[in-house]
Homo-oligomer: A and B are copies of this chain.
């Protein structure tokens, strides 16, 4: 529980450790935002965060862990923001579309960052399992909440639909990152999937 490289923000550890962790993730986001996946070089992250390379690796055992952890932090922020205000829309489909498009728009506003985080997420292997799982849960939570605001009991179908929508959204994002589809096409893909699943 005192593990330093755990993911949740409210983790134990000294103030200095929390500060280092924050500086590292800030540096990661800044570099990713400027030049994408390739620009997030471990030596550069360490220098910008003002820690030694060895310290960086003590906090995050690999570049992929680092980027997926940064993604998890961004998702936690987005989820927290979304949790406060009610989601506009008269039905589940509209609310889900609102959430997904808003998130997508946010990511497309910073293409390099999105490229870095998406590719890291998709490239991860078994060793990043727990970090990946956190992101997956946050995504499912966001979607089920959009489908049924304020509802705690969910049917199996609800969860299944949320997972399928999450899959579609991730695949669409990968398509956008790889230049196969435009921003509008990503929006369309999501709308189509929502329409097919939540009619």
Query: Which residues of A are interface residues toward B (Cβ below 8 A)?
Result: 37, 115, 119, 122-126, 128-129, 132-133, 136, 157, 160-161, 163-164, 166-168, 170-172, 174, 177-180, 189, 192-193, 196-197
Q: Is the CB of B177 within 8 A of A171?
A: no
For the complex formed by this chain, how many copies does it contain in all? 2
Q: Is the CB of B174 within 8 A of A122?
A: yes
How far apart are A170's CB and chain B's nearest CB, in angstroms?
Answer: 6
Q: Which residue of B lies closest to A118 (CB)?
A: B122
Q: Is the CB of A178 within 8 A of B128?
A: yes
Residues of B within 8 A of A171 (CB): 166-168, 170-171
Residues of B within 8 A of A179 (CB): 125-126, 129
Residues of B within 8 A of A157 (CB): 196
How far apart are A36's CB and chain B's nearest CB, in angstroms?
Answer: 9
Which secondary structure dominates where chain A touches chain B?
A: helix
Q: Is the CB of A119 within 8 A of B123?
A: yes
Q: List 25 A-B contacts (CB under 8 A).
A: A37-B125, A115-B125, A119-B122, A119-B123, A119-B125, A122-B122, A122-B174, A123-B123, A125-B178, A126-B179, A129-B178, A129-B179, A133-B180, A136-B180, A160-B192, A160-B196, A163-B189, A164-B168, A164-B189, A164-B196, A166-B171, A167-B171, A167-B193, A196-B196, A196-B197
> Bound state CA distance, A31 and B192, in angstroms?
40
Q: Which residue of B lies closest to A174 (CB)?
A: B122
Residues of B within 8 A of A37 (CB): 125
> Bound state CA distance, A122 and B177, in angstroms?
10
How far apart are A85's CB and chain B's nearest CB, in angstroms?
Answer: 29
Q: Which residue of B lies closest to A126 (CB)?
A: B179
How far apart are A115's CB and chain B's nearest CB, in angstroms?
Answer: 7
Whether A172 touches B178, Cβ cut-off 8 Å, given contacts A122-B122, A123-B123, A192-B160, is: no
